[in-house]
Chains A and B, each alone.
Chain A
Amino acid sequence: MYAVFKRELFSLLNSLMAYITIGVFLLVSGLLLWFFPDTSILEYGYAELNGFFSLAPFLFMFLVPAITMRSFAEERREGTYVLLASRPLTDWQIILAKYFACLVLVLFALLPTLIYYYSIVQLGLPQGNIDGGAVTGSYIGLLLLGGAFASTGIFASSVTKNQVIAFAVAVFLSFIAYSGFDALAKIFALGTLEDVFLWLSVNEHFQSMSRGVLDTRDLVYFLSFILLFLGATKLAIGGRKW
């Protein structure tokens, strides 16, 4: 499994796509947080990163599918999947190897943003006046959110040969999971359905982690979300009509 993971990661790092998407992610978040007056932390005046953490999920909605879209779709188009399928590897090993390779790239996109945190720590008055717990919780939440979006992306990539379709489907699924259930909860406000939809919403669990409280319920939610979509991926590639 490590061999496949290594290959996937190298192949992602060899493609321009990864650098462009990570670059765009950092550029857009940097511009919005530091330069554009309406959203700038400097104009806002409070030493906190909430702006970044409410923006990042929407950027991830596009960043993560761009990273995951080729994983299975390209193998299907090029017919190379048989190279993996005829080796002594289980379907789960192949799926997890691809999934973790994408996740490492998400981590690479997230690492440089620690500079934002460092800057705020330095700019705070008095220096270091920032809620470290909330930031840590938000970063863990963001990583899990990236993991959840990556699982929908891997799934979308496994049902089509076309990378563009894989991208679009993944963006849609991520959007529904993030904002769609929230909206549904609002429609069915004050009923039991509201609780159900709120529980299903990625945003709700991400917000809960952003407060700096690591609740096992949120962890369980994210892990089941990821397992659900990776399991669906297993079904999609296990049938193998291609």
Chain B
Amino acid sequence: MRGIALQPVKTAFSCHDRFKIETLSIQVEGLSKTYGQQKAVDQISFRAVPGKVLGFLGPNGAGKSTTMRMLTGYLQPTSGSANLGGFDTQRQSLEMRRILGYLPENTPLYTDMYVREFLSFVADTYQLERSAIKVKEVIARVGLGDEQHKKISMLSKGYKQRVGLAQAIIHDPSILILDEPTTGLDPNQLTDIRELIRNLGKDKTVILSTHIMQEVEALCDQVVIINKGKIVADASLTELKSKHQTDSLEEIFRGLTR
């Protein structure tokens, strides 16, 4: 078998890469969520692969957060299925949650805890080894060094957002789902957080939802746009622009979701 490895690789991906893409991607098949008569999410299917950031766009109420909640196993889909890194979100929920980092909408946090205390708690829920070091590392990574001894309720919106990101990446997940990670940040913080997400996206599968089109331009490789629960576009950024013959993502967005 060793001889095979010596052969020049002719395919686009090496065996290792293909294995990685199979196991660490997100695959969504016909996912639906119905509340009474209303279809919040209607038969959506898409795929996200490692090393690329997928921008999940849509107007308010289009079903973005509902979809993300179903992907994380928090909500049960009415029909369809989702597979994260080889684990079915419903049947293998616990295994799936080990490799998943999730930043929920509006960044809920235990505001009565201290930053460091909260992150240690999160590390403990994954039963991480050397959790004290991991906490220290993640604090440095998201730039919380000066705030680490403060109570979370005392932090400004931007720093709370960083705590939210820290709790999502502390266990080095291979899949990241970020629900509006940059709302309410000032321009400096925006640049920092975007830089962080871009770095995370290099070796992880990242899905992020946002309303800011510049952010999509700056961060995302692939774009999925949903409107009223249905997918109206699923393409790479460049494909999308050439197809609609315009450079303005905002125009494309408005054209598709009006």
Contacts and interface: CB of A to CB of B under 8 A. Distances in A.
Tell me if chain B binds chain A: yes
Interface of A: 2-4, 6-7, 11, 14-15, 78-80, 82-90, 240
Contacts of A87: 97, 122, 125-126
18 contacts: A3-B124, A3-B127, A7-B110, A7-B121, A11-B112, A79-B106, A83-B109, A85-B72, A85-B74, A86-B72, A86-B74, A87-B97, A87-B122, A87-B126, A88-B94, A90-B94, A240-B74, A240-B75
Contacts of A90: 94
Contact of A88 (B106, B125, B167): B125
Nearest to A14: B112
Contacts of B122: 83, 87
Contacts of A80: 108-110
Contact of B74 (A7, A11, A82): A82
Contacts, number: 62
Given A15-B112, A82-B108, A88-B94, 15 more contacts: A3-B124, A6-B124, A7-B121, A11-B112, A80-B108, A82-B102, A82-B104, A83-B104, A83-B109, A83-B122, A85-B73, A86-B72, A86-B74, A88-B125, A240-B74
A11 B74 CA distance: 24
A88 B97 contact: yes
A87 to B, nearest CB: 4
B113 A7 contact: yes
Contacts of B167: 83
A82 B100 CA distance: 13
A86 B106 CA distance: 15
A67 B72 CA distance: 31
A240 B76 CA distance: 8
> In terms of DSSP, what is the predominant structure of the interface of chain A?
helix
Across the A-B interface, give the 10 residue pairs with the lowest CB-CB distance, nearest first: A3-B124, A79-B108, A87-B125, A80-B108, A86-B102, A88-B97, A82-B104, A3-B125, A88-B98, A88-B94
B124 A2 contact: yes
Contacts of A78: 108, 111
Contacts of A3: 121, 124-125, 127
Interface of B: 69, 72-76, 94-95, 97-98, 100, 102, 104, 106, 108-113, 121-122, 124-127, 167
Contact of B125 (A79, A89, A240): A89
A88 B104 CA distance: 16
A89 B121 CA distance: 13
Nearest to B168: A86
B130 to A, nearest CB: 15
Contacts of B109: 80, 83
A78 B102 CA distance: 17
Nearest to B69: A82
B104 to A, nearest CB: 5
A20 B44 CA distance: 52
A84 B106 CA distance: 16
Nearest to A78: B108
Contact of A83 (B75, B76, B98, B110): B110
Contacts of B72: 82, 85-86
Contacts of A11: 110, 112-113
Contacts of A88: 94-95, 97-98, 125-126
Contacts of A85: 72-74
Contacts of A2: 124
Contacts of B112: 11, 14-15
A126 to B, nearest CB: 52
A11 to B, nearest CB: 6
A85 B110 CA distance: 14
Nearest to A94: B125
B65 to A, nearest CB: 11
A62 to B, nearest CB: 24
Contacts of A79: 104, 106, 108
B231 to A, nearest CB: 24
A2 B126 CA distance: 11
A87 B104 CA distance: 12
A84 B104 CA distance: 11
